[in-house]
Structure 1
């Protein structure tokens, strides 16, 4: 095999510079152990090299299962040496609350590669269809025809579930086309619009609504090009734009259900930033207050006007390594503060990108050499003509971590690894300690380690902010199938909830309670005022103590929360009414600030958030 691989390298050296993807194909023929390379094994319709075949007994439902179709978690083997080599940092500011962890489910049925919080009290968790058996069965009359099977085998394992995050109850969902490494966002009615994936799913668009009987509706031939590892962004007019994907150096708009795009639009940044292992998949895309888009791939970024199809501005390079899959960094648009913005002015948009990996990390990982990840955390203010990246160091380097915006406007960095890169088995030293990042604090005082989890969450793990201001944490699978023993990091199906420090018992008296009767039934309208009432259990508050934020729930996968944004709203009236307080709040004035849809609206008193109300803006 070594001499044959050398021959492949020799052939690759003869390829023109523009044939990087051809080189990638040749190399991957001999490396089926990583997710990047798996596609080479699947085109012939067989998965024997990486996915254990289901036995006849399993297919016929002989294994123990509950009435819901949930099967037991297999016994775990003893932890390996690698599994015990974890990063736990000392808690910062030991005198202050550091948060707490709770396991809310021992078995989610599927490992949550993708996660989205719906407005009906449920979360949608789903995986790829390529992994074979999960731990959740579909009803026998609702099995899935496997398009890659040579003998018309039916796949009776669920690869998606609806998870009730209050009770832990599960409901199986049926996905037909493969959602492996796909993308998504919410539409104005709160439906999840989900795009791309692998094999028969790479051109698909899928829909699922927030109801107790909803299931996936799929349109497999929607895109002109395959969208595997792409990014989806909602636009001010309610449409969705999808950037990139493997070998897709282009963008497309999501077509109407049942329609097919004729042609994609080339986007040179994606081709120009493609390394031999890409390092530019799942590009970071953010809607800016003027309606333009920030697009970041690998180490470069642009401001793009989707209305004209023109790149408006090229931004400085972010040196030091790769930032997108498989060098997966964390990124977010920092909160948009509308409190001091008047007239037609826009808040200043600022992007943050933290962590990532050296560009060689993936290749070295193929030989079990795991490089330290990047510690830098970079911010850029896009309102400045001479914008430059301002870089500071995190307490620990991190790859494939999650970055969530909390209701307070602080950011939570969690999960991921201190060595290696994204990919099956390509990382070591899982980081159990989340970091609280406070963007309003001065440099040198922004990072604070919080209470550590006991569960390693690396590749294919996800997290999401919930209405009660806790954080749901799920998934994690560095294996090509559901493996629970004989591997360094068993497939993770436990679900945790992290309560940030603001939910500590010491601060409970400050926590606002929204009077749900005051929430506008018809939602909020752009540029109009709306009223909210709340009370606090113990502490009296004054207007200066109070803040209202609105949060767009994202679609999260591979360490990136697509369409995540938080706005701090302007309060123009504050009246104390006995034990109740009434607020007059200005809604965002245009969809460029907050695209139409359902948001989590929080009232905060002394930086302690309420449980949110779901409010639609239109």
Structure 2
């Protein structure tokens, strides 16, 4: 009997091994340093069948909280119908317009002056981005002039740095206005405040504990308090809480978090310990838990993910409400740098139902990858990035990660929520990790992930770019549905051909715009126009509001209309902080007016500015800025 059981077990292991082998095809081999020039934009290598190994995972312990599988606590009540996988996959596909168009790229600016390391779309339709004041000169002068002693850069550079390290980029005209940056915001965090202001926290050197504020006005510059924070916040994550304040989580050697107001540079800091961060720090300088993934949940608690472990956290008390299962396969946070997003939350459901809340995490690298890519220099070896995605249903008490395979490997990529509810994966590399010159093989091909499609049909490769977007690159969802793509600087200062610098990848100052498939010109006939002057832009929690649409050919069916509300994120180092997309409840579509119900509370939509889209047959309108508050 034992022999039979052992034989069956061995057979099962063989079958599983074969399935794993075939599921992880298209391998990329570890390789050493190579160089990139614009004459060879694809920069691809052949594969040798190398597969990163799985890592061991530790068990979890802790208390179980009210966010457990069958209810969301006070917000939605305890006796409501829970979502099921079957009903969630019944997407409103009644008359979704289809297209074979895979998107298109265009250059929006040949030289923006500053390579975008951090970016935030502002409610005045300006994209604000900045790099660092501690890594040499940029390519645009401060205006009016302002000079400070230079830190970093070439030995032959001027001793005074008179260049700007931030810009305000007009997303419609590509005009650039230099911004004055005080303390160094390199590897900082940020987000939009309740009043549409950019709040930036942390950085390096003189910016470790800084809080900066930039208001969305024509001539505004950063204001800051360089000693506002309790702890150094370098590679920390900033996320909006239900009252509009910010939580700033982690950072290098900071195993804690603190709360920051969104409307003041003067406050009394308070620090709360977070054991998860210390528990997930890999030794030997690998770390693998910086820029942790943080999301606000519908009950006011937080999902916090670091390295390969995650918890549900009460931000007010520091209590771990719930330990979640480990995500196998490798490391997902800086410098392994995978991608993550909270998937769109559908509020257009029955009153007795609870919306499904899921998180998606893709890519990254093994826990040892950074040792090979950076710590052993000058000899570098770039291990293949991870190819898997894990999706976790946070409604379920004993949920397990659902694993899928992307079409290609990706590290340092961005994950953006599109107005339609689909997910875009863009930028990054296929081997190596984050850090200076620590990755190779640019991943030039964006991938569309459709969470409502059945497993095995969710990924679609789109039209590739020709410009590598490696370490320190960013992307932004624009109001017209395009994606602005900028940055890429793998070097410790700006290195370019015009200076005869030695580099594998140049410092990139060009700005691109990518048009996803829903912007196929053939689908323009389905694109509705929001009449902003006849629509409500000031929303109240739980209140009904009106969206007016322009003239259409024929009657618009309610079943073909979806209204989405998007929180534009602060994006840096492959993570888009504060990003969320809500599918709002549509009550009526009649006489070119859409009656919509606003989110019920700040746990679903923290107070502030959002982009509102009307999606008709899968084609989004131009977004309209709205503001929600009590």
TM-score category of the 2 structures, normalised to the smaller one: 0.7 to 0.9
What displacement does 1:144 show?
A: 3.8
- Does the 8 A contact of 2:565 with 2:611 survive in 1? yes
Alignment partner, residue 137 of structure 2: 133
Question: Quick one: distance in 1 between partners of 2:102 and 2:551?
Answer: 22
Unaligned runs of 5+ in 1: 1-75, 88-93
Alignment partner, residue 561 of structure 1: 576
What displacement does 1:194 show?
A: 0.5
Question: Quick one: distance in 2 between partners of 1:571 and 1:260?
Answer: 41
- Does the 8 A contact of 1:86 with 1:430 survive in 2? no
Question: Quick one: distance in 1 between partners of 2:348 and 2:327?
Answer: 31
Alignment partner of 1:246 is 2:246: no
- Does the 8 A contact of 1:83 with 1:488 survive in 2? no
Q: Measured at CA, do residues 308 and 414 of structure 1 come closer, stay the same or move farther in structure 2, by a change above 3 Å?
A: same
- Does the 8 A contact of 1:145 with 1:176 survive in 2? no
Secondary structure of 1:84 counterpart: coil
Question: Quick one: distance in 1 between partners of 2:37 and 2:403?
Answer: 41
Alignment partner of 1:316 is 2:320: no
Please list, as runs of the form range in 1=range in 2, the aligned pairs for 1:359-374 lying within 5 A after superposition. 359-366=367-374, 367-374=379-386
RMSD: 2.3
Q: Measured at CA, do residues 162 and 539 of structure 1 come closer, stay the same or move farther in structure 2, by a change above 3 Å?
A: farther
Q: Measured at CA, do residues 141 and 537 of structure 1 come closer, stay the same or move farther in structure 2, by a change above 3 Å?
A: same
Secondary structure of 2:493 counterpart: coil
Please list, as runs of the form range in 1=range in 2, the aligned pairs for 1:306-385 lying within 5 A after superposition. 306-342=315-351, 346-366=354-374, 367-385=379-397
Alignment partner of 1:492 is 2:508: yes
Which deviations, in whole Å up to 9, do the C-alpha atoms of 1:120-168 show, x marking residues without a partner?
A: 121001101122111110136433456899xx96421100000001101
- Does the 8 A contact of 2:102 with 2:463 survive in 1? yes
Which among 547, 562, 566 is matched to residue 547 of structure 1? Answer: 562
Alignment partner, residue 270 of structure 1: 277
Alignment partner of 1:388 is 2:400: yes
Q: Measured at CA, do residues 244 and 78 of structure 1 come closer, stay the same or move farther in structure 2, by a change above 3 Å?
A: closer
Alignment partner of 1:190 is 2:202: no
Q: Structure 1 length normalisation: TM-score?
A: 0.83
Q: Number of matched residues?
A: 532
Alignment partner of 1:475 is 2:479: no
What displacement does 1:533 show?
A: 1.2
Question: Quick one: distance in 2 between partners of 1:339 and 1:397?
Answer: 34
Q: Measured at CA, do residues 492 and 283 of structure 1 come closer, stay the same or move farther in structure 2, by a change above 3 Å?
A: same
Q: Measured at CA, do residues 508 and 83 of structure 1 come closer, stay the same or move farther in structure 2, by a change above 3 Å?
A: closer
Please list, as runs of the form range in 1=range in 2, the aligned pairs for 1:141-540 lying within 5 A after superposition. 141-144=145-148, 154-254=160-260, 257-259=264-266, 261=268, 263-276=270-283, 277-342=286-351, 346-366=354-374, 367-485=379-497, 486-521=502-537, 523-535=538-550, 538=553, 540=555
- Does the 8 A contact of 1:250 with 1:267 survive in 2? yes
Question: Quick one: distance in 1 between partners of 2:553 and 2:266?
Answer: 56
Secondary structure of 2:506 counterpart: coil
- Does the 8 A contact of 1:332 with 1:352 survive in 2? yes
Secondary structure of 2:540 counterpart: coil
Q: Structure 2 length normalisation: TM-score?
A: 0.81
What displacement does 1:239 show?
A: 1.0
Q: Measured at CA, do residues 545 and 204 of structure 1 come closer, stay the same or move farther in structure 2, by a change above 3 Å?
A: same
Q: Measured at CA, do residues 86 and 475 of structure 1 come closer, stay the same or move farther in structure 2, by a change above 3 Å?
A: farther
Which deviations, in whole Å up to 9, do the C-alpha atoms of 1:35-58 show, x marking residues without a partner?
A: xxxxxxxxxxxxxxxxxxxxxxxx
Unaligned runs of 5+ in 2: 1-34, 47-97
